[in-house]
Amino acid sequence: MIEEKFEAVSQRALNSVEGIKRTGLKIIDLKERYSKTLMPLEGNVNHVGMMYAGSLFTIGEFSGGIIHLVSFDINRFFPIVKEISIRFRRPALTDVTLEVSFTKEEADSIQAEAEKNEKADFTLDLEIKDQENEIVSIVNGVWQIRKIPEGMDVSI
């Protein structure tokens, strides 16, 4: 379920980047500091019938942006992705899901650092799971939140 206050922003997150939109990525659950997304197998298979590596990357990469939207003050901070590693542990033969969350303490600490230093890195260690709850891919990434400069339009 998507919390009502995040409805508009979640739609924009899915639709404002064509490369994300065309995968059919879905947000299943979204609330304060928590997101669960789903990448459908349909439309994302490779030539041997398993999920394409790039679509697994997309659900991982999206997590850094969506957790930003529900954890930080998006009127004052915007996210960038610095680096991502993805390990393909086993073939993904079903739709896959990914959960990402921050505690209030984690989110507050990151935003406080960005408040002070204009920017703050955050890391996410993520597990992409198939419908049998097996981990198909492991994602480790570094994102950064930055203070929005005066006059800069970074709305999504």
Closest distance of CB 44 from a second copy, Å: 6
Residue entry with tokens 């409805």: 7
Taking residue 123's Cβ as centre, other Cβ atoms within 10 Å add up to: 11
The secondary structure of residue 103, as a DSSP letter, is -
Looking at the Cβ atoms of 25 and 114, the one nearer to a second copy is 25
Q: Is 83 helix (H, G, I), strand (E, B) or coil?
A: strand
Q: Is the dihedral of CA 12, 13, 19, 23 positive or negative?
A: negative
Q: Examine residue 10 and tell whether it contacts a second copy (CB under 8 A).
A: no
Which of 84/93 has CB closer to a second copy? 84
* Residue 25 CB burial class (10 angstroms; 0-12, 13-18, ≥19): buried
Which listed residue (11, 16, 103, 131) binds a second copy by CB under 8 A? 16
Out of 9, 20, 69, 74, the only residue in the binding site for a second copy (CB under 8 A) is 20
Q: Which of residues 50-109 bind a second copy (CB under 8 A)?
A: 52-55, 57-58, 61, 80-88
**Of 20 and 109, which has the nearer Cβ to a second copy?**
20
Closer by beta carbon to a second copy, 69 or else 108? 69
SS3 call for 14: helix
Between 47 and 151, CB nearer to a second copy: 47
State the number of CA atoms in the 13 A half-sphere of 35 facing the CB: 29
Task: Assess contact for 13 and 66: CB atoms under 8 A.
Answer: yes
Please report where in the chains the tokens 């896959």 appear, as a residue. 96
Q: Which stretch binds a second copy (CB under 8 A): 3-11, 38-46, 108-116, 128-136?
A: 38-46
What is the binding site for a second copy (CB under 8 A)? Answer: 12, 16-20, 22-23, 43-48, 52-55, 57-58, 61, 80-88, 154, 156
